[in-house]
Structure 1
């Protein structure tokens, strides 16, 4: 994930200060690809006993760590395969290598400047742990993530409530997400319950069950710029899946915070049907370790039947990396998530008629991301979709996005924020929309969907519309133009939820619940 821009260097940190790390331990067995790609799923218990860390490995890591000067084991999570440890920074540098420094940086969520620890050099796992520990997280504490909402500076053109978008996208009748859990992971901000009660009541909807979970000491604390993202996510998800239970995970904006929140959500009871991630950063500025750890978490989620939905960004094909090249957003570029792009939608919710839908690209005011991953290879299920090669290369890569929905703030989503009605957009709005649709599809099918993409890509070609989708064939996001079939800005297109449910029902059946 991207490093936030340093404001000024602060110099050497207090090396006697406490550093808290997370060590991730190897699996007892590798997750098989056919389990990750579904459609069959496993339970939390089966994941832990069949593919989790062994008790011997966890005990070995703890014994070795306790043997280092000043090291304290502060937590063990067998399900998440993690050991949390704390030690003076000087001892951490001695054991894992590298050099710590202090930097002042701006958190993109809160827009607040803080002092953070940076770490120069990749961590080196001691020989006695090299075969057991697969990652060390927490050395660098800088903010990594940006929220993917976008406000509109011009004159408002069109405004939709989430239920109106549900009508235009034909969310399946007779479903409301009942019996499903929708998890939302955020790394800053908060919401006021009085806003939620007024918003849903004003839409004539029941106020959904909303539970909050604190990760790393971060709580629901409204009062800053990050609130807009949280409010958008909760109100879109709750209005489009009003029967689902919503769980909002608040975490620090750091690698360690995001990973911890994802682990908490994925291993929660009950297992969520969908996870909505309305944040990200350029894949090219992410460390290989973070890419690998998060991608493995998303594979784990898929095996459990969780569909992870992620925003692809609002900076067009550059993804905000202005080097003249094309870049994609992570975690949306992971092949184990459903990557959500954005459109400009003009329609009449009363009649359910879509008059036009084009790629969202309003220049400096924002554009949907999309492109080809430089880190992840082309998945087998995407081979027939016509994904171009990586920029400047003859090698294929994972194509982004998979799906799309309205994201242009000029055709924005109505929200209620601090008692005032407003409108907002961005691919972070399209993401909870898709997460809510996943919950309603799962309810209609009587089973979770897990990694949805292999099912969606069954049979698509470069010139044929996928069943359950409306193809978007006008516009571009900079480097990539829309075209019939899949393209690198709106993926397979925007949903026809009713047709998509029927298509999935024909292939999966309506009551094949997971074990």
Structure 2
């Protein structure tokens, strides 16, 4: 693989201020220039989403919050359970609800019944009305309920919007819709979002193999991320649902690869866990790496072939010379999912589903950042240096994160000709690992720490 060197934009190993904004950044690349892979003779590619879901019933029907199915160990969580498990509830009780902040969610196509579904979701879980803006910079294709691609994105949109709102109930949400899942369309929508300053934090629950992106595409994504970072916008992306694997560029098989946009050093990558919490109260019990052989899925994680190891990961010996992902994690289990109201699925209007996948965690982390922005009374912007500083300080780390030390993300995947592709995985370990990153948040402790560090570095001489 030929590598194209792109000049490094920032000096190495220092904290500094960007354009006078309330943004604290650490240097990205600890050695050498940033690199972009040049992939020859590859057709323009596209990102994918894969929100796993199972039908629970109608929104106006009965629902026990444990959502217990007839299958062993399958249940789901409502809003209160997740807030309790990750210690978000104490901040909400003290008025830190994301008020005054805006979460941007970037997705493709549309969810025609979204506003009605959000209203039903709010009523079901006692949430305040959502200030929701929907923007489509380009003309969207007409809704086709028989198009499985459009239906899948509609599911993703519903999951993203409802659960960002659930965790930061007073934050505004702007949904920005791309006319397709193709890279150029999504990058154009991302640039529109940044240029119009539509929000404080951007959630992207999609991805594709690094191997399938041309040098121009990688460069365009990264330049947009640099622009967002200079504007103090936090970027988050899901790490994927196929362990260390990504689809080959012809979509007929699998190989070991990291995905974009999550592998970009300016993006905070969100991996997946299986959360074990009390099904009624939500009291935290334990977590393991998310791996579900029944649906051939596991937390995405591994190492980039494109990006150098960033300075904020320098102290992590488990990472070699390349960027390691994910950075953090959140419940993504398909068996311990979250409740979503979605009218565009096979069961029609008012359907309730249990959703899983790393795309479930990304909008909730975006909500946590919105709460942290409110707490700090400023945009935190590029948060990876803050997260890894907390992770490298034992007393902070133990108070702010659940360190996931059990499980791995090995997975067997099926190719187009039904051949089984066996991909090795990484094991969870103390501290950062290539399955769940630093771990999952203890939000009531993490948010004040992030805010304190951001303000301290901004005002330091």
TM range (shorter): 0.7 to 0.9
Q: SS state of the match for residue 211, structure 1? A: strand
Task: Determine the structure 2 residue equivalent to 1:186.
Answer: 107
1:262-273 equivalent positions in 2, closer than 5 A = 262-269=190-197, 271-273=198-200
1:119-198 equivalent positions in 2, closer than 5 A = 144-151=46-53, 155=71, 157-171=74-88, 172-173=91-92, 174-192=95-113, 193-198=115-120
Return 5+ residue gaps in structure 1 as ranges. 1-28, 45-119, 123-139, 390-395
Q: SS state of the match for residue 253, structure 1? A: coil
Cα distance in 2 for residues equivalent to 1:286 and 1:297: 15
Task: Determine the structure 2 residue equivalent to 1:236.
Answer: 163
Q: SS state of the match for residue 259, structure 1? A: helix
Report the CA distance shift for 1:39/1:245 in structure 2 as closer, same or farther (over 3 A).
Answer: farther
1:463-478 equivalent positions in 2, closer than 5 A = 465=397, 467-478=399-410
TM-score under structure 1 normalisation?
0.69
TM-score under structure 2 normalisation?
0.77
Identify which of 200, 203, 213 aligns with 1:276.
Answer: 203
Asked if 1:377 corresponds to 2:279, the answer is no
Q: Name which structure has the greater RCO, CA cutoff 8 Å, separation 6+.
A: 2
Identify which of 214, 231, 248 aligns with 2:136.
Answer: 214
Cα distance in 2 for residues equivalent to 1:323 and 1:188: 26
Task: Determine the structure 1 residue equivalent to 2:35.
Answer: none
CA deviations on 1:467-488 (whole Å, 9 max, x unpaired) are: 5111000000012000000000
Identify which of 411, 425, 436 aligns with 2:367.
Answer: 436
Cα distance in 2 for residues equivalent to 1:254 and 1:36: 36
Cα distance in 2 for residues equivalent to 1:208 and 1:219: 26
Q: Which has the larger radius of gyration?
A: 1
1:316–1:368 contact (8 Å) kept in structure 2: yes
1:38–1:450 contact (8 Å) kept in structure 2: no
Shift of 1:43: 5.7
Asked if 1:257 corresponds to 2:188, the answer is no
1:37-186 equivalent positions in 2, closer than 5 A = 42=20, 144-151=46-53, 155=71, 157-171=74-88, 172-173=91-92, 174-186=95-107
Asked if 1:496 corresponds to 2:461, the answer is no
Cα distance in 2 for residues equivalent to 1:35 and 1:191: 47
Moved more, 166-175 or 204-213: 166-175
Report the CA distance shift for 1:41/1:446 in structure 2 as closer, same or farther (over 3 A).
Answer: farther
Shift of 1:217: 1.2
Identify which of 340, 346, 360 aligns with 2:290.
Answer: 360
Moved more, 289-298 or 407-416: 289-298
Identify which of 311, 326, 329 aligns with 2:238.
Answer: 311
Shift of 1:147: 0.7
CA deviations on 1:172-229 (whole Å, 9 max, x unpaired) are: 3321111111101112231412111111122111121111111221279484332111
Q: SS state of the match for residue 106, structure 2? A: strand
Q: SS state of the match for residue 388, structure 1? A: coil
Identify which of 211, 221, 229 aligns with 1:294.
Answer: 221
CA deviations on 1:346-380 (whole Å, 9 max, x unpaired) are: 11276552112000011251111100000000001
CA deviations on 1:126-180 (whole Å, 9 max, x unpaired) are: xxxxxxxxxxxxxx7x660101422359847121123421221112332111111
1:190–1:220 contact (8 Å) kept in structure 2: no
Root mean square deviation, CA, Å: 3.1
Report the CA distance shift for 1:222/1:354 in structure 2 as closer, same or farther (over 3 A).
Answer: farther
Shift of 1:502: 2.3
Moved more, 367-376 or 197-206: 197-206
1:41–1:450 contact (8 Å) kept in structure 2: no
Task: Determine the structure 2 residue equivalent to 1:23.
Answer: none
Task: Determine the structure 2 residue equivalent to 1:486.
Answer: 432
Report the CA distance shift for 1:412/1:222 in structure 2 as closer, same or farther (over 3 A).
Answer: farther
Identify which of 336, 339, 344 aligns with 2:266.
Answer: 336
Report the CA distance shift for 1:121/1:490 in structure 2 as closer, same or farther (over 3 A).
Answer: closer
1:467–1:503 contact (8 Å) kept in structure 2: no
Cα distance in 1 for residues equivalent to 2:433 and 2:126: 37
Q: SS state of the match for residue 96, structure 2? A: coil
1:213–1:219 contact (8 Å) kept in structure 2: no
Cα distance in 1 for residues equivalent to 2:107 and 2:15: 26
Report the CA distance shift for 1:239/1:397 in structure 2 as closer, same or farther (over 3 A).
Answer: same
Cα distance in 2 for residues equivalent to 1:206 and 1:510: 34
